[in-house]
Amino acid sequence: MSWHVLGAGSLGSLWAARLARAGLPVRLILRNPQRLAQYRKAGGLSLIEHGQPARYAIPAELPDAPGAIQRLLVACKAYDAEAAIAQVAARCAPRCEILLLQNGLGSQQAIAARWPQARCIFVSSTEGAYREDDFRVVFAGRGQNWLGDPNDAVPPAWLAELDQAGIAQNWSDDILARLWRKLALNCAINPLTVLHDCRNGELRQHRPQVAALCAELGELLAASGQAAAAQGLESETWRVIEATAANYSSMHQDVRLGRRTEIHYLLGHACATADALGLRLPRLRALHAQLRAHLRRHGLPED
Ligand code: NAD
Ligand code: KPL
């Protein structure tokens, strides 16, 4: 059974290259004929590991190509994922499996609700990759991929293919807790690095602000039925800040490069959930408003 990879950006290329390297059947789905022509000209996907590039001539096709899709890995940004799946939905087999690599929360639930016949598997990844150029991706940080299905605890048999491909994986019986925890960490760190225009480690100078946000995020997690994900949130936030002290957060990098952020699926999702639960959380809401104003001033979408 083929892996169809929708979105040949950083993470999509990282997954596709490793699957192909292990001899597993993979096909890339590119968004339009121009991208397909550029890909063919590049001669395949290049993955750079430890400074060494290797090229993989993975077959690529357009969304409306013939052939049923049984297993779809969606590696678009959260704001593009649903529309991208809609372009291939007619090709999806009745019990198609859709792996969703998006950060934050909200896009996964919208997709699962729109295609209830598919099995949607949510993925929380701590791996790091970035695009050096079109179809040239650097594997920048080893990590873990947590996979889970909120509606079905039985792991799929093909997890063994990920092991075969050297893709670090763990099946989670509570993937929503993992995604909520990562969302909370991202909400406590990323917006402040944008507003203070600083590296993660420089948040040490804003300790009370980080602490106050962690307290409200903990309250939100507990009220959302994620009490376990709320445990020790502030100490883990500081651990992550120390471990990534020299780095700029992904949101900081997006803003600096003039790219749309995933704010809607991070702080936006946190504030929308707080609204639905009738929670006040004034610091989180103020942070959301400040970040939106900052994005507006930089000519970037506010959601
Ligand atoms: P990216 O921008 O590098 O790649 C997204 C790709 O999707 C782009 O190539 C884009 O052209 C493509 N795309 C968008 N719409 C499409 C469509 N309709 N049809 C086909 N292709 C389409 O993004 P990324 O960094 O790989 O991130 C993907 C997701 O993974 C995000 O939610 C991100 O937060 C998450 N994530 C990324 C990393 C990382 O290190 N890059 C780590 C953890 C999580
Ligand atoms: O995931 C991150 C990001 O930059 O998006 C970390 C390093 C955890 C900071 O929130």
pLDDT band at 12 (very low <50, low <70, confident <90, very high): very high
State the ligand closest to the CA atom of 241: 2
Rounded mean pLDDT, 65-70 = 97
Cβ–Cβ < 8 Å for 27, 44: no
pTM, two decimals, is 0.97
Question: 179-207 pLDDT, tens per residue?
Answer: 999 999 999 999 999 999 999 999 999 99
Residues designated as active site: 182
Q: Whose CA is nearest to atom 1 of ligand 1?
A: 9
244 C-beta closer than 6 A to ligand 2: yes
Average pLDDT, the chain: 97
Give the CA distances from residue 277 to residues 115, 150, 174, 182, 186, in Å, rounded to whole numbers and listed in that order.
Answer: 26, 21, 21, 20, 21
pLDDT band at 134 (very low <50, low <70, confident <90, very high): very high
User: In this predicted structure, what is the pLDDT of residue 16?
Assistant: 98
Helix boundaries (H) for the chain: 10-21, 33-42, 78-88, 107-114, 159-164, 175-195, 207-223, 227-230, 233-243, 250-256, 267-277, 282-297
CB-CB neighbours of 268 under 10 Å: 21
Rounded mean pLDDT, 281-298 = 98
Instruction: Give the residue among 237, 195, 178 at the shortest CA–CA distance from 212.
Output: 237
Residue carrying structure tokens 């948040």? 203
Q: Note every long-range contact of 43-50, with CB atoms under 8 Å and residues 24 or more positions apart, other chains counting.
A: 44/135, 45/8, 45/13, 45/16, 45/17, 45/20, 45/135, 45/136, 45/137, 46/135, 46/136, 46/137, 47/13, 47/14, 47/17, 47/18, 47/137, 47/139, 48/132, 48/136, 48/137, 48/138, 48/139, 49/139
Q: How far is the CA of 11 from the centre of ligand 1 (A)?
A: 6
Question: 237-264 pLDDT, tens per residue?
Answer: 999 999 999 999 999 999 999 999 999 9
State the ligand closest to the CA atom of 236: 2
Q: How far is the CA of 63 from the centre of ligand 2 (A)?
A: 31
Best residue for ligand 1 mutational test, from 11, 27, 36 (most atoms within 8 Å of Cβ): 11
Length of the chain, in residues: 303
Question: 73-97 pLDDT, tens per residue?
Answer: 999 999 999 999 999 999 999 999 9
Domains in the chain with CATH codes: 3-173 (3.40.50.720), 177-297 (1.10.1040.10)
Question: 22-50 pLDDT, tens per residue?
Answer: 999 999 999 999 999 999 999 999 999 99
Q: How far is the CA of 281 from the centre of ligand 2 (A)?
A: 22
State the ligand closest to the CA atom of 238: 2
Pairing of strands 60-61, 52-56: unpaired
Atom of ligand 2 nearest to the CA of 250: 4
User: In this predicted structure, what is the pLDDT of residue 24?
Assistant: 98
Q: How far is the CA of 201 from the centre of ligand 2 (A)?
A: 12
User: In this predicted structure, what is the pLDDT of residue 102?
Assistant: 98
129 C-beta closer than 6 A to ligand 1: yes
pLDDT band at 53 (very low <50, low <70, confident <90, very high): very high
Q: Whose CA is nearest to atom 1 of ligand 2?
A: 186
Q: How far is the CA of 143 from the centre of ligand 1 (A)?
A: 17
Question: CA neighbours within 13 Å on the CB side: how many for 23?
Answer: 1
11 C-beta closer than 6 A to ligand 1: yes
Pairing of strands 119-125, 145-148: antiparallel
